[in-house]
Amino acid sequence: MTAAHARHDPSSIPDLRAVLRGQVIAPDDAAYDRARSVFYGGIDRRPAVIVRPTDASDVSQVVLLARETGLELAVRSGGHSLAGHSTTDGGIVLDLADMRALAVDPERRTAWAQTGLTAGAYTTAAGAYGLATGFGDTGSVGIGGITLGGGIGYLVRKHGLTIDDLLAAEVVTADGRLLHVDADRHPDLFWAIRGGGGNFAVATRFQFRLHPVSTIVGGLLVLPATPEAIDGFLALADAAPEELSTIANVMPAPPLPFVPAERHGRLVIMATLAYAGDVEAGQRVVAPFRALAAPIADLLRPMPYPEIYPPEEEGYHPTAVGHNMFVDAIDRARAEAIVEHLQASTAPLAVAQLRVLGGAMARVPADATAFAHRTSRLMAHVAAVYQRPEEAAEHRAWVDRLAAALRDGDARAYVNFLADEGAARIREAYPGPTRERLAAIKARYDPTNLFRLNQNIPPTKGAADGEGERRRR
């Protein structure tokens, strides 16, 4: 703890303002209501203070403040936590939104990025060099949360998960130290932050590998959602060269200008395709998808990669229930179940999202990072978006029914798509050996579980000496 920090009263906002360089937003500030809001609706918490650090030293001060006061600490990058973990009632929000510096080294094809950047901002800036690192399907997601959980997006089959391009990170640990972690320095911590989420430290900067990705063949393809078309789509996506990654949302057609009015509200496959490779080859690869059924809309075209993130609606704060799973197949019977259940849903918006995986993601050994579900063929996510809180139970039951119809017996989930679903679901994200190793590393770096507002991995009792980790190395 620094002398400056020790002197001030942690509950005093003026004292905090005197110590920190960044913004300190208190409940009586005009900016408070906007600053406390997060992406998901239905989450209405009132933090004691929201701090927007400008550098790692501020971050360290805030971590020490949380430690000293015992106040709950919410760490926020893009604010898209499905579990509401990026805010707190009565605690401290450490919001990294003002830490958005990006330094691209086009020669070495690497970039140092502060963790307040969004996936969209990073992708646009790197795109100016014809380079990219893969994140997810949404530009407003923060690189902090998505990277620490794994990162599954439009380059997953070609270049792997986001963490497969993470070369190093700067992190502030629970004792306020700023550490540089990579394959050689603190390799245990570097292993843990690649999939283990925000359990271990606050990440202030990431160093990523960049790939040459300039013009892709991609965009939106809207097809009628029949079981045959779903089945056919997944078979094509699975057989396609790994340059192609796809995300298929089976859902009622939204009233978008390019969807004919008579289709609005009827079930469609809203698919985004991204072929990161030669343009002519890409055109050939996407052609059979167009031929699965007469497309309702076909926006596939050669385009600059950053356009994969279209502008987003301001002020969109959906309230949703969902269930995420990795599975090895969506066969014809499951495709039929998807259509039947979606037709039966009473939610204003219900969706089954299907992502065919494989390729580069699957080639990394399961124990190389804290993301173990490498060889799963598909990720499925079922969700219902609704408006009135009293509808929640009904939509929850619907989600559970469809999820049960799709799940394999061997339960596996992606940590970044978990809501507040309890310890059993966290165990589905971290199978036995991964969980044990994470818990031992947690005991070394955060023995008091200061970083607990996350998909939490409690520290192994008595493992703080890291004996298990040392034996492993």
48 touches ligand FAD (CB under 6 A): no
Site membership for ligand FAD, residue 176 (CB under 6 A):
no
Q: Residue 31 Cβ, how far from ligand FAD at the closest point, in Å?
A: 18
Residue with tokens 């008091």: 448
Q: At what angle do helices 392-406 and 332-344 cross, to 10 degrees?
A: 170
**Beta carbon of residue 411, minimum distance to ligand FAD (angstroms, whole number):** 19
CB nearer ligand FAD, residue 115 or residue 460: 115
Distances in whole angstroms, Cα of residue 215 to Cα of each of 129, 263, 282, 309:
12, 31, 10, 14
- Report if residue 80 touches ligand FAD, rule: CB under 6 A: yes
C-beta nearest to ligand FAD: residue: 145
Q: Rule CB under 6 A: say whether 202 interacts with ligand FAD.
A: yes
* Packing angle of the helix pair 279-290, 227-239 (nearest 10 deg): 160
Query: Looking at 82-90, 229-237, 281-289, 423-431, which segment touches ligand FAD (CB under 6 A)?
Result: 82-90
Q: How far is the CB of 197 from ligand FAD (least distance, A)?
A: 6
Does position 96 interact with ligand FAD (CB under 6 A)? The reply is yes
Q: What is the dihedral of CA 124, 125, 128, 134, to 10 degrees?
A: -60
Among 39, 289, 326, 445, binds ligand FAD (CB under 6 A): 39
CA–CA dist 361, 346 (Å, integer)? 36
Closer residue to ligand FAD, CB minimum distance, 242 or 446: 446
CB 88 within 8 A of CB 101: no
Dihedral sign, Cα of residue 325, residue 330, residue 333, residue 337:
positive
By beta-carbon proximity to ligand FAD, the closer residue of 122 and 289 is 122
Piece in contact with ligand FAD (CB under 6 A), picked from 45-53, 77-85, 298-306, 325-333: 77-85
Q: Is 81 in the site for ligand FAD (CB under 6 A)?
A: yes
Is 216 in a helix, a strand, or coil?
strand
Query: Least CB distance from residue 349 to ligand FAD, whole Å?
Result: 13
Cβ 284 to ligand FAD shortest distance, Å: 26
Written as six digits, the tokens of 431 are 């199978």
**Is the separation of the CB atoms in 421 and 354 below 8 Å?**
no
Confirm or reject binding of residue 231 to ligand FAD (CB under 6 A): no
The reply to whether 158 sits near ligand FAD by the rule CB under 6 A is no
Inter-residue contact 209 to 219 (CB < 8 Å): no
Assess 148 for contact with ligand FAD (CB under 6 A).
yes
CA distance 453 to 459: 14
- Note whether 414 and 373 are within 8 A (CB): yes
Q: Smaller CB distance to ligand FAD: residue 198 or 358?
A: 198
Tell whether residue 330 is a contact of ligand FAD (CB under 6 A). Answer: no
Q: Does 136 sit near ligand FAD (CB under 6 A)?
A: yes
Residues 410-439 that bind ligand FAD (CB under 6 A): 416-417
Phi/psi at 124 (5° precision) = -65, -45
Of 8-16, 126-134, 141-149, 251-259, the segment contacting ligand FAD by CB under 6 A is 141-149
The single residue listed with the structure tokens 């006061």 is 69
* Residue 386 within binding range of ligand FAD, rule CB under 6 A: no
Instruction: Pick the closer one to ligand FAD by CB: 315 or 409.
Output: 315
Q: Specify whether the CB–CB gap between 92 and 85 falls below 8 A.
A: no
Q: Which residues pair with 355 in a beta bridge?
A: 379
Q: CA angle, corner 38, sides to 32 and 44, nearest 5?
A: 70
Cα–Cα distance, 19 to 5 (Å, whole number): 7
Minimum Å distance from CB 35 to ligand FAD?
A: 13
Torsion of the alpha carbons at 396, 454, 308 and 319, rounded to the nearest 10: 30
- Binds ligand FAD by CB under 6 A, chosen from 22, 53, 79, 91: 79
Chain residues binding ligand FAD by CB under 6 A are 39, 75-82, 85-86, 96, 115, 136-138, 141-142, 144-146, 148-153, 197-198, 202-203, 416-417, 454
